């Protein structure tokens, strides 16, 4: 590399690296020097004419056009031009795919080695940058030739068949009027490392996009000695001349280049053995057939002491087939009559020359065996399509059918994919139906925009999606075709930063292809099938009279009623996003401003026989704000929105107490207390929108439960307006609470978890704490979930000294978190990758099993120091490594931004949901394992498209167990009634949790969604006791939300129909 006559620093450095790579991966790389003589003669003849005449035209530019079977092609051609200048080839300008440009190190090396970048799989005749680059390159050499390397097939053919050539590059050359010499270069491999990526793509839908991580993994395997491509043989065909006039016959010219490639293909014993294995034929028959077809046999090797790549006895057919197809182009023409599609696939544009050759017995046997395999691929595809059609998928998508292809037939999946694409094209042309995207049929009914009332209000809540209007994920496509997700707004740590890995992660994990141009379920506010309000004009007037005739505090508008009649389950979002509301909605929404108005409203409801349903932040995921159907309860329904009651009534700093109205949101309460130097210690994931009253009604829990407790530990007293009036404690002293007392049945216990069925919570006295002296974060990486669980169990034994918040993410959720990292600079990307590799190596961790615990410390300086010391010791005990406070802080902050993902995914036919439960330590692994398996089983049983993505995390820690969050999402393209199907699977998962020892809910409550399970968790006697209590407290059933146990009053529960 240092002694070559030409080459800049990147070229010499690259040459030095490549020499080492080739020695480790190839047995030998042989160049047919004699085949380059025609190029030398062409260049020397033009040079001679130039020397004789100053007016002679400049030397033609040289276009090196190799076959493209592997990423090695880039490396080998460049190295040959650099290391063998006697061939007459200067270092070429390489037309490389644009994805390489942004890879750290590789992008720099590629540019230094004269690469320029074009869009892969793009119509290059409209690529302005390509024309500009070619004009610059072909004119910068003066009278000398410029050298350009291009792959006319456009992309790698990892299965070794010839691909129909792309003509955009050649057409562009013709248009700029540059005279060129085309050098068709054939690179023959025995084995290629790219075959495994072909198999992964076919079997698992994995993307083959290059990245720094994949490059590092490949280099690691090279130096570990696990890459062996055997021999490589490079030869050049006679040069072809190209001028402006060539553009008239550009397709013929492209096929002429490819014909040159075919004539130089060589076959070795490795390929023959692969064919023998794939087709179950003797090597002798194959050799005879190839001899009859005038196939070039690889010259004997001169390398000594090197190991040939082998075809093992238990070889995967998927690995043998690409090696066999090294000579597939020789057989393609003979299949043109019987199997035209396969003939075109193996050898596009080729024509049979001698039909009589098929009379040869060996050739006939070979063709017969090959035809049988092709027919078997077609039959397998037909069977899979018919199976899916029986499951309700009339025209399934390609990726969906691939999932259900048989695995026990002697045909690789990539071959079946070829048959599948032809079959689907035929089905679509017959039925004139757009393949896939069942849900897109709804889009014609959906208004894709917001009305004015949903715009330009950054603090307003989104309609039909989680979060604020100014914050949401959007998908962008970069000029090189990459899909980047970005979060709008400035609220969150990742806002405004491109998330370059998220779309790829989703596509790989769910085995889907995201179409950026198709918004399947855009947020909408056009609602249909919603009856008008049943509330009479007189009734509205009565309500207005108790609201001081403030018309802004009562609404019969459809949008307000839809928002208040739903929560944030996937079913709610699905109905709002499609606009097809099946639910019964409240007849009116009312916003009281004080306790007296609430009491007057309750009295009015009793006298008019109305049903009142309290509404806090609307973040429930249990259908608790759904109205009972009209058959069950025909009364008018009124939603009582409490958010206008958000005052701080008093604060007693000495006792550490505050009296607060129930409609205050978590974020308001936290901010108000922080101004006074206090914290409430309660931070549920939904705290930006959920309210104090909602926390009490659902018996909520927050992220910092380990330190501050759950809502039942924080709330001291509750005031409720019921049908009998105000239900509360009485105090003779101001700003005080009864504290811990023994005075009979506790009022607080009646309201915690009551879910709006006993009355309307109007205020509460809560415990407050001084702001912590010290607050910091940490993160721990552990080898697997089992070691992570043991680490968490030992942390739980720290009792009062537990960190404020500890969350253990399983491997799937940890990798999702990694995909949500903002795009780093190239230097940071390289540094982070190096740090990760080193850390994983030192900690004996694997990317496929590693789990992560994110930790938040709060307390005095000494407490935090002690907690950190204990965490460090436990990390060492359980074989983990500290990943640093930056990762811990990022994990904590991501909690709030990750909530937006579900509704973003719904834009692209992906439906998701989370659900939680309490699980004893003794049942933890069993519950998690069984629940995940049940979801996969239900998904498979319904033949749903793609793969389900299931992950979990452990959050709150207790002496006897933990809270477990499950996350589940799946592709719903082509699925009829997808929301109902999803609900079936979720209910099956919930049943699995109960069957294996988990609870029905840890902190979300029951609502109507989980009410069908109450008879499994409560005795009949307890249910009767609660119903009797309800009858005593609310004899008119004014608070008839029918949530939880009280749903048994409704024999036609909405979930019974699902």
**Cα–Cα distance, 874 to 894 (Å, whole number):** 25
Helix (H), strand (E) at residue 168: helix 168-175
Determine which one of 473, 900, 965, 967 is catalytic.
965
**Cα–Cα distance, 232 to 185 (Å, whole number):** 13
Contact present, 46 and 36 (Cβ < 8 Å): no
For 107, the token pair is 């992008």
Beta-strand pair 61-66/147-149: parallel
> In the sheet where 715-722 sits, what is the strand order?
648-652, 657-661, 760-767, 715-722, 725-727
For 50, the token pair is 């130039």
Contact present, 41 and 239 (Cβ < 8 Å): no
- Which residues, 6+ apart, have CB-to-CB distance to 41 below 8 Å? none
| Whole-number Cα distances in Å, 973 to 396, 911, 979 | 9, 10, 12
- Known catalytic residue at 473: no
Contact present, 916 and 964 (Cβ < 8 Å): yes
**Cα–Cα distance, 1 to 16 (Å, whole number):** 5
| Whole-number Cα distances in Å, 111 to 10, 327, 480, 813 | 9, 35, 16, 37
Query: Which residue in the block uniquely carries the two structure tokens 């492209």?
Result: 254
> In terms of C-beta distances under 8 Å and separation of at least 24 residues, what long-range contacts does 863-872 make, across chains too?
863/774, 863/801, 864/774, 864/775, 864/776, 866/801, 867/798, 867/801, 867/802, 867/803, 868/776, 868/778, 870/798, 870/801, 871/778, 871/780, 871/795, 871/803
| Whole-number Cα distances in Å, 452 to 525, 552, 986 | 10, 17, 36
Strands (DSSP E) contained in 522-603 are 554-555, 588-590
A 10 A CB-CB count for 593 gives 18
Query: Which residue in the block uniquely carries the two structure tokens 């075109």?
Result: 344
Angle at alpha carbon of residue 215, lines to 209 and 220, rounded to 5°: 140
Query: Which residue in the block uniquely carries the two structure tokens 């600079």?
Result: 825
**Cα–Cα distance, 887 to 854 (Å, whole number):** 7
- Which residues, 6+ apart, have CB-to-CB distance to 387 below 8 Å? 404, 943
For 46, the token pair is 């033009």
Q: Please give the positions annotated as active site.
A: 965
């Amino acid at each position: 590399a240092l002694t070559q006559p030409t080459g800049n620093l990147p070229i010499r450095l690259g040459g030095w690296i490549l020499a080492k790579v080739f020695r480790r991966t190839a047995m030998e790389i042989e160049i047919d020097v004699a085949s380059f003589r025609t190029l030398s003669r062409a260049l020397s003849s033009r040079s001679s004419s130039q020397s004789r005449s100053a007016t002679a035209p400049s030397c033609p530019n040289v276009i090196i056009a190799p076959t493209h079977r592997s990423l090695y092609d880039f490396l080998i051609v460049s190295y040959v031009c650099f290391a063998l200048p006697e061939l007459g080839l200067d270092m070429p300008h390489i037309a490389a795919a644009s994805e390489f440009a942004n890879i750290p190190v590789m992008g720099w090396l590629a540019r230094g080695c004269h690469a320029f970048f074009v869009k892969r799989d793009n119509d290059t005749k409209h690529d302005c940058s390509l024309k500009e680059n070619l004009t610059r390159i072909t004119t910068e050499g003066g009278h000398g030739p410029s050298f350009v390397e291009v792959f006319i097939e456009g992309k790698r053919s990892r299965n070794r068949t010839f691909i129909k050539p792309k003509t955009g590059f050649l057409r562009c050359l013709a248009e700029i009027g540059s005279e060129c010499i085309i050098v068709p270069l054939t690179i023959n491999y025995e084995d290629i490392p790219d075959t495994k990526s072909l198999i992964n793509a076919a079997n698992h839908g994995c993307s083959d996009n290059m990245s720094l991580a994949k490059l590092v993994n490949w280099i690691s395997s090279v130096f570990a000695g696990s890459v062996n491509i055997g021999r490589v043989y490079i030869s050049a065909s006679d040069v072809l001349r190209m001028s402006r006039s060539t553009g008239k016959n550009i397709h013929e010219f492209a096929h002429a280049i490819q014909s040159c490639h075919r004539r130089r293909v060589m076959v070795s014993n490795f390929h023959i053995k692969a064919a023998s294995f794939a087709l179950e034929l003797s090597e002798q028959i194959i050799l005879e057939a190839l001899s009859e077809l005038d196939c070039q046999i690889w010259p004997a090797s001169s390398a000594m002491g090197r190991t040939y790549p082998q075809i093992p006895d238990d070889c995967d057919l998927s690995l043998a087939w690409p090696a066999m197809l090294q000579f597939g182009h020789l057989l393609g023409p003979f299949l043109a009559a019987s199997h035209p599609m396969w003939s075109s696939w193996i050898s596009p544009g080729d024509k049979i020359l001698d039909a009589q050759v098929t009379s040869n017995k060996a050739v006939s046997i070979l063709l017969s065996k090959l035809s049988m395999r092709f027919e078997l691929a077609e039959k397998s595809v037909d069977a899979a399509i018919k199976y899916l059609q029986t499951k309700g998928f009339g025209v399934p998508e390609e990726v969906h059918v691939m999932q259900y292809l048989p695995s026990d037939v002697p045909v690789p999946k990539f071959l079946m994919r070829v048959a599948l694409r032809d079959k689907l094209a035929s089905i679509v042309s017959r039925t004139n139906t757009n393949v896939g995207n069942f849900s897109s049929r709804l889009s014609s009914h959906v208004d894709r925009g917001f009305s004015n009332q949903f715009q330009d209000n950054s603090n307003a809540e989104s309609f039909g999606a989680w979060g604020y209007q100014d914050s949401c994920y959007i998908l962008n496509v970069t000029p090189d075709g990459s899909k980047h997700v970005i979060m709008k707004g400035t609220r969150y740590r990742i806002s405004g930063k491109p998330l370059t890995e998220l779309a790829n992660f989703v596509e790989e994990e769910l085995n889907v292809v995201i179409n950026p141009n198709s918004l399947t379920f855009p947020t909408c506010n056009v609602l249909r099938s919603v009856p008008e309000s049943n509330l009479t004009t007189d009734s509205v007037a009565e309500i207005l009279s108790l609201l001081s005739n403030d018309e802004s505090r009562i609404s019969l508008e459809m949008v307000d009623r839809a928002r208040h009649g739903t929560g944030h389950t996937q079913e709610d979002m699905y109905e709002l996003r499609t606009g097809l509301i099946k639910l019964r909605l409240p007849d009116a929404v009312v916003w009281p401003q004080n306790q007296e108005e609430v009491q007057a409203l309750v009295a009015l409801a009793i006298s008019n026989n109305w049903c009142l349903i309290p509404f806090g932040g609307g973040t429930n995921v249990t259908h608790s704000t759904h109205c009972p159907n009209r058959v069950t309860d025909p009364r008018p329904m009124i939603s009582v929105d409490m958010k206008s009651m958000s005052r701080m009534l008093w604060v007693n700093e000495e006792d550490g107490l505050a009296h607060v109205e129930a409609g205050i949101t978590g974020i308001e309460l936290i901010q108000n207390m922080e101004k006074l130097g206090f914290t409430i210690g309660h931070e549920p994931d939904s705290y930006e929108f959920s309210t104090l009253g909602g926390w009490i009604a659902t018996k909520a829990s927050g992220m910092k439960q380990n330190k501050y407790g759950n809502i039942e530990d924080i709330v001291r007293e509750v005031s409720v307006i019921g049908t009998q009036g105000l239900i509360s404690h009485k105090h003779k002293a101001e700003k005080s609470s009864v504290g811990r007392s023994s005075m009979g049945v506790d009022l607080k216990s009646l309201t915690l978890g009551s879910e709006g069925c006993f009355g309307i919570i109007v205020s509460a006295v809560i415990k407050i704490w001084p702001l912590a002296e010290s607050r910091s974060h940490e993160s721990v990486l552990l080898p697997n979930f089992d070691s992570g669980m043991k680490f968490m169990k030992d942390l739980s034994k720290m009792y009062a000294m537990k960190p404020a918040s500890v969350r253990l993410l399983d491997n799937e959720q940890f990798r999702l978190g990694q995909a949500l990292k903002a795009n780093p600079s190239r230097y940071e990307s390289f540094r982070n990758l190096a740090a990760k590799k080193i850390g994983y190596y030192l900690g004996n961790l694997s990317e496929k099993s590693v789990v992560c615990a994110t930790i938040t410390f709060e307390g005095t300086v000494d407490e935090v120091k002690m907690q950190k010391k204990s965490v460090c010791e436990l990390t060492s005990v359980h074989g983990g490594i500290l990943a640093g406070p930056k990762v811990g802080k990022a994990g904590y902050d991501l909690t709030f931004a990750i909530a937006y993902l579900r509704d973003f995914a719904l834009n692209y036919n992906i439906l998701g949901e989370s659900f939680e439960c309490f699980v004893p330590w003794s049942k933890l692994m069993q519950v998690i394992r069984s629940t995940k398996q049940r979801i996969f089983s239900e998904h498979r049983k319904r033949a749903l498209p793609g793969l389900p993505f299931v992950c979990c995390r452990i959050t709150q820690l207790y002496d006897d167990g933990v809270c477990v969050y499950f996350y589940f999402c799946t592709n719903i393209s082509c699925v009829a009634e997808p929301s109902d199907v999803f609900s079936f699977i979720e209910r099956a998962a919930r049943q699995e949790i109960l069957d294996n020892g988990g609870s029905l809910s840890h902190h979300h409550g029951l609502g109507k969604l989980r009410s069908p399970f109450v008879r499994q968790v409560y005795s009949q006697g307890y249910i009767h006791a609660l119903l009797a209590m309800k009858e005593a407290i609310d004899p008119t059933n004014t608070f008839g939300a029918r949530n939880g146990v009280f749903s048994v009053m409704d024999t036609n529960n909405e979930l019974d129909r699902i």
